[in-house]
Structure 1
Amino acid sequence: MISSVPPLDFSTSIEPTFSFLEKVEEPVPSSTRLLPASIFNSETCTSKGYHQIDAKSGEHEIYYELHGSGPHRILLITGLNNTSFAWVKQVEHFASDPRYSVLVFDPRGAGNSSSPEGRFTTSNMAQDASSLLAHLGWVGEREIHVVGVSLGGMVALELAFQKPTHLASLTICVSSSGHVFPLQNLPPWKGIKTIAQLIWTKPLEEKIRMLVEMQYPSKWLNEIDPHSNRTNFETTVEEYHHRLNLTRPQPLRSNLSQSLAALTHHVSPSRLRLINEQVPKIVVLTGDEDSLVRIGESARLVKEGLTRAEAVVWEGTGHAIQLQRPKWFNALLERVFEEGRGSSRFVVSPLFRSPSVRFCSPS
């Protein structure tokens, strides 16, 4: 419990991305509107805009931002009913390094991207990403480092299956290969309970509290952030509030469509084995206090097909792994990218290992 944290005052009543009940109109066509405000540093942005997609699942637009201009290309894929803003700490880190270019985008039905009429699947969400990569000319062999978190990890698996020779590395975070039966894809009870409560919770500050408590361990939330001398809970709530102030509320239909994509997601062992054979460097990362994806799903990914993957569990870490542990996360990715670039051979790693000193204090 985090009852020791005093209530925070919020002066803005904007509904967040996670609003289930708000009726929201689709974005105006890109030709008649200005580009939206962004949480990212404008000085590192080299391109931003809307990519038009005319797919079998329906016509729609994907909003994207490209930061940095280095030769090593990173694609970051965000999670369920979330936007590219969830990668703020990774874009800040890698875009400031002249070695990297970082591409982020809002998935169909979230943020500034529009929503097609047809059914959402992790496969057609991966096709969106593939179309965006082609639009930007990111089509070279072994040139892209793909990182996906939660639903984004599921989409990343589908992308790796569709375009395996394009990837230099694949990092799957707090995610799953899914199951044949959708009910097996439901989150643990704490996640189900919180998601259900969010549907009927209207005040913004209460929604944010619930989201934070669901995605981060309570022990970590009560710890003091040495940089601000406040609790991690207080600083995290402020970060969420800042992000949501710049986020277009999500339509109910889009929210449900993304949720259905997660529930029906399944990458078979045979498809996992193909990814395992063709992608040079693979990492499966999870936290041991994840309330939305069971830790056993990461082990199953490795056991059922990604047998070459380096699998890592971080203690005291929840679902929002890239936000809770940004230094560990960015240091891990730097190593993965380096190994993926130079990997003409495949490296077999142990099934699981706790974070070592270099993750706690990356050099």
Structure 2
Amino acid sequence: MTPKPPPPRIPTAAETLKHPAFRTAIWRLKPDRKGLAAVGNGRGGPFRISWEIHGVGPIKVVLIMGLGALKSAWQRQTLHFGHERRDEYSVLLFDNRGVGESDKPFMRYSTSEMALDIAELLADPAVGWLPSFPLPSSPSDPPAARTLHVVGTSMGGMIAQELAVLIPHSLASLSLIGTAAAVENTTTFTENIMKIASMILPKGGDRSMADATRSIFAHEWISLPDDVHLPDPATTPGCLPPFADSLSSTEGTGGNDDKYLRFDTNAQRFVAQELHKQMDPAGGRFKLKGFILQLIAAGWHRKSPEQLAAMADAVGRERILIMHGVEDGMITIPHGHKLIDYVKPEKGLVLEGLGHAPLLERWKWFHELLTEHFLAGEKLSGRG
């Protein structure tokens, strides 16, 4: 029997903090619009959702992040669609309730309630991507009304399922990445309990950071050199230098401090971004309370085969993409197979050598795939 290879080494927090690239790990991509939208009135609120729109193009993309992650976790996609292709795309980012710059109400969270947050955000006059919410019922489904391209990853994919139930005829396309109809125990009882415990414990220790990294990403990718496509403040529209004094500044010093830098490995870039989240100088962007409340929402998410089939009928299976990595250690591959079987999308991808986060692991291919999917949805809606 071939011995099992040792797990890939994950850089420590101390090593990462010393790296010259650490201070440039979060890119300063200036939004075209941003704000705080009041949602949840009559549902325990109101409370505020922090949002940004990057780009001015006609193709509207809604990105829904997963458990405990901030809107900056989409920065590769924000750069690609909202800045380098800003005349083609408008990209809506936001912090889900419980994290980031959004409010963190102490109450029962659910994926259906979080989807209602997004629907109300889309209808907020400052965003203006839905004419109103709730939408008036109509027996007709004019293709021109389908203007939104919704992409959800992990818990964000669960929320995206619920959003698609709420506003199916507003969706030009739906992409569900590394997610599930319901989280089920597909490992041993002990492994499942240990995984949940490691998620609940604060992520300050090197061991918990290493465990999370190995669960999220394909092991081969972890140790590869940092391959990210970096923004350039000199040429990237709306990109500020990493050390500009304020968001109103558009000029740097002209030296090396104006450049975004690479890390040694892919894993080290991920560790750096997690450390930035935990070490937020303003305090409060990542709190254990909000994380646990989001975890409960993900754990209780349930969509039956019948509910998902009805959602797919309303959205249109030709508009739906589902993707799952075989090496996903967070939401294991049986979940992906079940979701594809329930929804029966036109595109159901199960990919070898991929973990939980194609938006990071295969960012170039992921952008090409999304572009193709978005354009197909535009064409189906009479705009391509």
When normalised by structure 2's length, the TM-score is 0.74
2:32 aligned counterpart, secondary structure: strand
**Equivalent residue for 1:309, pick from 340, 346, 352:** 346
Aligned-pair CA distance for 1:123: 0.5
Assess, with a 3 A threshold, how the Cα gap between structure 1 residues 92 and 192 changes in structure 2: closer, same or farther.
Answer: farther
Residue-pair matches, total: 314
**Equivalent residue for 1:331, pick from 346, 368, 372:** 368
1:76 and 2:63 are equivalent in the alignment: yes
What is the identity, as a one-letter code, of the residue corresponding to 1:211? A
What is the identity, as a one-letter code, of the residue corresponding to 2:218? P
Cα distance between partner residues in 1 of 2:366 and 2:175: 11
1:240 and 2:274 are equivalent in the alignment: yes
Cα distance between partner residues in 1 of 2:277 and 2:225: 22
Aligned-pair CA distance for 1:328: 1.4
Question: Which segment is superposed worse, 285-294 or 206-215?
Answer: 206-215
Q: Deviations over 1:104-151 (max 9, x none)?
A: 111111111112343111101000000000011112610000000000
Corresponding position of 1:107: 96
Aligned-pair CA distance for 1:205: 4.2
Corresponding position of 2:14: 9
**Equivalent residue for 1:126, pick from 115, 121, 124:** 115
2:380 aligned counterpart, secondary structure: coil
Aligned-pair CA distance for 1:199: 4.4
Aligned-pair CA distance for 1:201: 5.7
Cα distance between partner residues in 1 of 2:103 and 2:284: 11
Assess, with a 3 A threshold, how the Cα gap between structure 1 residues 272 and 327 changes in structure 2: closer, same or farther.
Answer: same
Corresponding position of 2:258: none
Aligned-pair CA distance for 1:170: 0.2
Assess, with a 3 A threshold, how the Cα gap between structure 1 residues 109 and 188 changes in structure 2: closer, same or farther.
Answer: farther
CA contact (8 A) 1:191 1:214 kept: no
1:172 aligned counterpart, secondary structure: strand
Calculate the aligned-residue CA RMSD, in Å: 2.7
**Equivalent residue for 1:283, pick from 312, 321, 339:** 321
Q: Deviations over 1:216-262 (max 9, x none)?
A: 12222123346758333233323433454447443333222211111
Aligned-pair CA distance for 1:343: 1.5
Assess, with a 3 A threshold, how the Cα gap between structure 1 residues 289 and 71 changes in structure 2: closer, same or farther.
Answer: same
Cα distance between partner residues in 2 of 1:295 and 1:114: 33
What is the identity, as a one-letter code, of the residue corresponding to 1:213? R
1:230 aligned counterpart, secondary structure: coil
**Equivalent residue for 1:172, pick from 171, 176, 198:** 176
Assess, with a 3 A threshold, how the Cα gap between structure 1 residues 55 and 78 changes in structure 2: closer, same or farther.
Answer: farther
What is the identity, as a one-letter code, of the residue corresponding to 2:113? N
Assess, with a 3 A threshold, how the Cα gap between structure 1 residues 143 and 301 changes in structure 2: closer, same or farther.
Answer: same
Assess, with a 3 A threshold, how the Cα gap between structure 1 residues 192 and 291 changes in structure 2: closer, same or farther.
Answer: farther
Within 5 Å, give how 1:42-81 maps onto structure 2: 42-43=29-30, 45-53=31-39, 54-81=41-68
Aligned-pair CA distance for 1:264: 1.1
**Equivalent residue for 2:128, pick from 127, 131, 137:** 137
Q: Deviations over 1:280-330 (max 9, x none)?
A: 4100011110111121222212222x2233111222111122111111111
What is the identity, as a one-letter code, of the residue corresponding to 1:241? L
Aligned-pair CA distance for 1:49: 1.8
Corresponding position of 1:254: 290
Q: Give me the identity figure in percent.
A: 33
Cα distance between partner residues in 2 of 1:42 and 1:229: 19
Corresponding position of 2:377: 340
